[in-house]
Amino acid sequence: MEKSLNKSIAKHLNKTPRTRFFLRFISHFLLLRTLVLLLALFWGYICPLRAADKPLITIQQFVSHPALDAAKKGIQQALQERELQAQIETKEDNAQGNVTLAIQIAKHHAALNPAIMVAIATPSAQVILKAKQTSTLLAFVAVSDPISAGLNGSNIIGVTDQPPVEELFSLVAQILPSIKTVGVLYNPAEINSVKTVERLAKELERKDLRLKKMAVNSSADIKSATLGLMTEVDIIYIPQDNLVVSAIETVINTAKQKKIPVIGNDPSLVDQGLLMALGSDYFNSGLQLGNMIADKLENKNPIPLIQHAKAKELKLNKGVAQSFNITFPIHLSTRETP
């Protein structure tokens, strides 16, 4: 129809000025109408896409080590079991233990306007808290002291895994009753480690044991710090410190030279050479958080919003014990988590 009209217009272009003006007006009107129709079609195409947008979930893991890797796998499995993975978009980044990089990742993720920002470990949770928009939900795991880390505001959910320091050293007293001095390696920049070391100091004072603290600020410090402890301590305790745990092989191999056993609250490290560990199962903590995230996506509120890790496990390394001539009491061996 428009083609025939245009032909008719062309035939009458040599008419009077008034006619030519009228014909131009008709031509412009038809062009404008075509543009409006095209815009309407385009808008009708775009709007359904926007309505079907999947919520974005960003995940920042502070550093790679067995506990944090397990926590991330737990989150992913929970979302898969709840059949939500096809309904969401995810973006994952690892800060490689670098706080500056963690800040940059948090800002980048926040700029994407995600529905949920997931933090795996305390340093990641702290930088995300500062970077996120007020309406964005922060979900954390592998955080031992959320209150001290400032993670107690609105729009925050998480799983906390306060290490059972007191219970661990009650077990140590049964295995190594003759120890006098405990050494600890920790990063003073990690508030979770600082608070754990404070609890450790109180517990050792109650047991009339000495504490030798050694602060480390980078992975390059860890070997020399371990060597510094070896001449003064009977055992080394590793808190859930991301810097130290990321270099746990260095700690264990160095301590082994003087047959100094290493213990901690991270059961995933026992296979790497710890004598024993009592603490959270990080995969299950990740599952727990993943189900809390799923609840939020389904417009349900997890109760409480900040939950304690439900699973605790004891792991013993019988090979290390044998090499150090240490015998585990039978009741501990039977209590060990399979």
Residue at token pair 């008719």: 8
Q: At what angle do helices 122-131 and 191-206 cross, to 10 degrees?
A: 140
Q: Are residues 213 and 240 in the same domain?
A: yes
Q: Are residues 140 and 182 in the same domain?
A: no
Q: What φ, ψ does residue 315 adopt, rounded to 5°?
A: -125, 135
Q: Are residues 216 and 331 in the same domain?
A: yes
What pLDDT, on the 0 to 100 scale, is given for residue 237? 99
pLDDT bucket at 218, cuts 50 / 70 / 90: very high
pTM: 0.81
State how far the Cα of 76 lies from the Cα of 125, in Å rounded to an integer: 18
CATH of the domain at 147: 3.40.50.2300
Q: Are residues 193 and 324 in the same domain?
A: yes
Residue 293: pLDDT over 60? yes
C-alpha 287: how far from its chain's center? 12
Over residues 198-210, the mean pLDDT reads 97
Q: How many domains, in total, are found in the chain?
A: 3
State how far the Cα of 60 lies from the Cα of 89, in Å rounded to an integer: 14
Q: Are residues 103 and 242 in the same domain?
A: no
Could you report the per-residue pLDDT of 159-186, keeping only the tens digit for each? 999 999 999 999 999 999 999 999 999 9
Q: Are residues 146 and 270 in the same domain?
A: no
Q: Are 332 and 171 in contact (CB under 8 A)?
A: yes
Q: Are residues 198 and 235 in the same domain?
A: yes
Could you report the per-residue pLDDT of 243-257, keeping only the tens digit for each? 999 999 999 999 999
What pLDDT, on the 0 to 100 scale, is given for residue 207? 96
DSSP class of residue 17 equals: H
Q: Are residues 132 and 235 in the same domain?
A: no
Q: Are residues 72 and 24 in the same domain?
A: no
Closest CA to 263 of 279, 281, 285, 247: 279
Q: Are residues 331 and 194 in the same domain?
A: yes
Residue 39: pLDDT over 80? no
Residues 6+ apart with CB under 8 A from 234: 176, 178, 179, 180, 181, 182, 260
Question: How confident is the prediction for the chain on average, in pLDDT?
Answer: 89
Domain range for residue 20? 2-51
Q: Are residues 182 and 246 in the same domain?
A: yes
Question: Could you tell me which residue, 18 or 149, shows the higher pLDDT?
Answer: 149
pLDDT bucket at 45, cuts 50 / 70 / 90: very low
| Domain end call among 10, 36, 51 | 51
Q: Are residues 217 and 182 in the same domain?
A: yes
Over residues 110-123, the mean pLDDT reads 98
